Amino acid sequence: MPTYDKMLVAIDLTEEAPQVLEKAKSLAEAFKSELLLVHVVEPVGYAYGGDIPMDLTELQDQLDKAAREQLAKYGEKYNVSSANQVVTVGRPESEIHRLVKEHKVDLVIVGSHGRKGFQLLLGSTANGVLHGTECDVMAVRIH
């Protein structure tokens, strides 16, 4: 049976996040693992096409701040130290791959909506994480 010393749980800060966090916390306790809590904020330019000639820095800063505050609440509730709470900006799958290498993660835990078809089964982010990381990936079914 594999051992997992460090687990990365990637959440999207929606009302579904606790379902993923509960499973991650249980696994971390069972394996006596360190838990790294991660949220990736997509750059505002992606959402608005990147072609708009306007400064979106303030909006990006507000999104980052709100994400850090929400992640801190989850960290407190699930007993994850502030040193193990990461908010980063970029493409979620790319940032998760980077963090896996940087933090020597053994298991990535992500949420999954049970839609039909392999691509839809995991969702685009979970699918991207699965196909680009060198460690195990666990998809938690969102109900």
Could you tell me which residue, 79 or 117, shows the higher pLDDT? 79
Q: What is the pLDDT of residues 93-129, one digit of tens each?
A: 999 999 999 999 999 999 886 554 444 444 567 777 8
According to the model, what pLDDT value does residue 67 have? Answer: 95
Average pLDDT over residues 123-142: 82
Q: What is the pLDDT of residues 13-54, one digit of tens each?
A: 989 999 999 999 999 999 999 999 999 998 876 555 555 566
Q: Which domains does the chain have, with CATH numbers?
A: 6-142 (3.40.50.620)
Burial class (CB in 10 A: 0-12, 13-18, 19+), 79: exposed
53 close to 33: Cβ distance less than 8 angstroms: no
**In the predicted structure, residue 138 carries a pLDDT above the cut 70:** yes
32, 122, 140 from 89: Cα distances, Å: 29, 22, 23
Distance CA(15)–CA(34), nearest Å, equals 24
84 close to 35: Cβ distance less than 8 angstroms: yes
According to the model, what pLDDT value does residue 113 have? Answer: 67
Q: What is the pLDDT of residues 66-77, one digit of tens each?
A: 999 999 999 999
